[in-house]
Amino acid sequence: MRLLVFAVAVPLILLSSCGGSPSGEPQRSAAASSAAPVAVTAAPVSRQEWPTMYEATGTVRARTTAVIASKVMGYVQQVSAQVGDRVAEGQVLVTLEVRDLDAAVRSAETARAEVHSAIPEADSAVAAAKASLDLAQTTFRRMQDLAARKSISDQEFDEASARLKAAQAGYDMARGRRAQLDSKMAEAEQGVRSATVMQEYARIGAPFAGIVTARSVEPGSLATSGAPLITIERDGVYRLEAPVDESRLAAVLLGQSVEVSIEAMDRRLNCHVSEIVPAMDAASRSALVKIDLPAVPQLRSGMFGRAFFPLGARTVVAVPAAAVIERGQLQSVFVVEDGAARTRLLTTGQRTGDFLEVLSGLSAGERVVAPVPTGLQDGARLGVRQ
């Protein structure tokens, strides 16, 4: 009889020492339930109408890009800009050493000076010819009067007439030579202007204010006509260029509002579609859509971005993002059940504003703790604030 009582008592002692579970969970739940209620705020899990989005990935590009090249051939004497430098409009970036252009300017200026020095002599010749013509005209009029009164012979009258014609011819010739000098002077001036313009081609400036993104030349290199030297982007004016599948292209319109996410900046921008390239890419079956971006100092050409095009609306079950706890790959919330916090695993999808889409784990109408206070445990008693 004593042996039987001892055999029954041993399992009871072992059971009480283990707390009824190897893991000890019921003990922790009981301790949490007996503690003072934790003051929390509860938020409902609700059904919401969310817009359906089509996501297209793209690259940030400058709206205005200039590849600067030389119009003349010559060795590079100086490069005044580095990659990343901000330059002003008209600022000289590359200087070429072109001695033949300098010689052409000097030659044109010499030709102009020669023509200019001949002008006073030609003016004097015109004045002398005009004086001779005036004298011949006066003499001829006198001879006409004398001939009318039969005071001179026909020979004398013919000689006066010949002298008048010769004086007129001399005057016309002098004026012709002076006009030729005017024409030569115009040609010389044009030659000087042309040579000066060619000389200015040796000083290559920025077509607009911007930032240098590429430098393809160094001092001493031979710059050939048309070869790229420096690339400039207009600073602060960027757009996202994203290919859109042909099946979704009908939903994209010019001027349409689009939300753009720039990964490197961790922010979203409100933008508008500025251009839809009409040609389709045969390989990807997509068309390029260009979206103007606002002026943001952190934007840089080449950044990765995502464009979200609205396609309609859908009904989702949504939970406040502040209620979701993330531990590695697991997501959970504390559901308010009978005045206590109960841990619930869930799967979430898209995020819109302060809400996350619930794919599984919660139903509309349930209430969750949001925000989650530090140290809240499963089974804790809750004092829910309204």
> Which residues contact residue 267 at a Cβ distance below 8 angstroms, ignoring those fewer than 6 apart?
261
pLDDT of 110 higher than 80: yes
Kindly state the average pLDDT of the residues 372-379.
Answer: 90
**Averaged pLDDT of the chain:** 85
Supply 363's token pair.
Answer: 């139903």
Element (H, E) at 32: helix 25-34
pLDDT higher than threshold 90 for residue 361 = yes
Number of neighbouring beta carbons within 10 Å of residue 234: 16
Looking at residue 19, what is its pLDDT? 40
16-58 per-position pLDDT tens digit: 333 443 444 444 445 555 568 889 999 999 999 988 888 999 9
Q: For residues 357 and 334, give the distance between their C-alpha atoms in angstroms, rounded to a whole number.
A: 16
Contact 383, 37 (CB under 8 A): yes
* Least confident residue range of 44-48, 228-232, 263-267, 374-378: 263-267
pLDDT tens digits, one per residue of 251-277: 899 999 999 999 888 788 999 999 999
Ordered by start, the domain boundaries in the chain are 31-50+316-385, 65-98+202-233, 99-197
Between residues 362 and 5, which one has the greater pLDDT? Answer: 362
pTM of the model: 0.54
Identical fold for domains 31-50+316-385 and 65-98+202-233, yes or no, is no
Nearest alpha-carbon partner for 294 in 259, 320, 318, 263: 259
> Average pLDDT of 83-89?
90
Evaluate whether 137 touches 144 at the Cβ level (below 8 Å). no
Q: Taking phi first (over 0 means left), then psi (-120 to 50 degrees means alpha), and beta for anything else, what does residue 255 get?
A: left
Task: Of 76-80, 238-242, 297-301, 337-341, give the lowest mean pLDDT range.
Answer: 297-301
Q: Which CATH architecture has domain 31-50+316-385?
A: Beta Barrel (2.40)
DSSP structure class, residue 64: S
Can you give the pLDDT at residue 74? Answer: 85
d(CA 148, CA 135): 20
pLDDT at site 16: 39
CA distance 51 to 311: 7
Please name the fold of domain 65-98+202-233.
OB fold (Dihydrolipoamide Acetyltransferase, E2P) (2.40.50)
> How confident is the model at residue 386, as a pLDDT?
61
Q: Give the per-residue pLDDT at 2.
A: 37
Among candidates 379, 384, 385, which has minimal Cα distance to 35? Answer: 379
Work out the pLDDT band at 150, boundaries 50, 70, 90.
Answer: confident
| 295-341 residue pLDDT tens | 888 888 889 999 999 888 889 999 999 999 999 999 999 999 998 99
pLDDT score for 10: 36
Higher pLDDT, 10 or 84: 84
User: What's the CA gap between 54 and 280, in Å, rounded?
Assistant: 18
Predicted local confidence at residue 366, as pLDDT: 94
